[in-house]
Amino acid sequence: MSGDAFEALTRLVAAGDVVVLSGAGLSTESGIPDYRGPSGAARRHTPMTYQAFTRDPDARRRYWARSHLGWRTIAGATPNDGHRAVARLQHAGLLGGIITQNVDGLHTAAGATRVIELHGRLDEVTCLDCGNATGRAELHRRLSEANPGFDAAVAHVNPDGDVDLPDDAVAGFRTVDCAVCGAGMLKPDVVFFGETVPAARVADCFALVERARALLVLGSSLTVMSGRRFVLRAAKHGIPVGIVNQGATRGDGYATLRLDAPLGATLTAVAARFAASAPAPV
């Protein structure tokens, strides 16, 4: 990591009113792989689409079987040094807001507040018929009861919380319906591919970016427009964009500051500069 680039990052944060946009790369040190960075480059996983999930019972069964096993890793993941450093910077009054593309809830677990979770949270489940919301732990219990002994070997967990399993391993898996209305389709409260982020949530993110003094991207390749649009909005308004990510991003051309470095160590070093005003969140 360049010393000059690190000092520039520290100055950017020190000026305050920074909005953080985080991606999957921030959670890799918690054991959750990303899509396109170093931990995800070797995989060829095709994420579930909203259309397949809602229209195809077999696709839905495959999703819940794979997600049922993957949930153990997501539920057991804990915040890493990068998450804790972001929370310390927020508590020091240096951040104007946090937008995350991640669905793991680790920013909040690290002590951050007022986090806009762009794509939702994997630990929450919604009935598409009656709208009832429940915790994922309760659904996990019900699925375990409906599928005793279902414990296929897991090679790795995908970023969206499911695992790769052959079709014959999920053929007998039983899904469950909403416990409130009795027959409603249950879906994790996350935005699938092919589904749109709620307009009000996007508007809140745009407003946050437009009020910022700087936008700091952490651990996102910015490959999809869902996150890249905020970089484009910042650039349009003349707001400096800093990017810390391992590997190239599609926002590099708009960056006024670019570091290719591990997130945990880099952010911890930045937060240490403000240790007196940024106590570790309780």
With 0-12 / 13-18 / 19 or more C-beta atoms within 10 angstroms meaning exposed / middle / buried, residue 113 is exposed
103 is in an annotated binding site: yes
216 is in an annotated binding site: no
102 is in an annotated binding site: yes
Residue 119 falls in the annotated catalytic set: yes
80 is in an annotated binding site: no
221 is in an annotated binding site: yes
51 is in an annotated binding site: no
226 is in an annotated binding site: no
277 is in an annotated binding site: no
31 is in an annotated binding site: no
Q: Are 218 and 26 in contact (CB under 8 A)?
A: yes
25 is in an annotated binding site: no
Put residue 161 in one of left, alpha, beta given phi > 0 → left and psi -120 to 50 → alpha. Answer: left
247 is in an annotated binding site: yes
Q: Are 213 and 18 in contact (CB under 8 A)?
A: yes
263 is in an annotated binding site: yes
Q: Which of 68, 91, 107, 119 is catalytic?
A: 119
205 is in an annotated binding site: no
220 is in an annotated binding site: yes
Q: Which residues are catalytic?
A: 119
Residue list, annotated binding site for NAD(+): 101-104, 219-221, 245-247, 263
Residue list, annotated binding site: 101-104, 127, 130, 178, 181, 219-221, 245-247, 263
Residue list, annotated binding site for Zn(2+): 127, 130, 178, 181
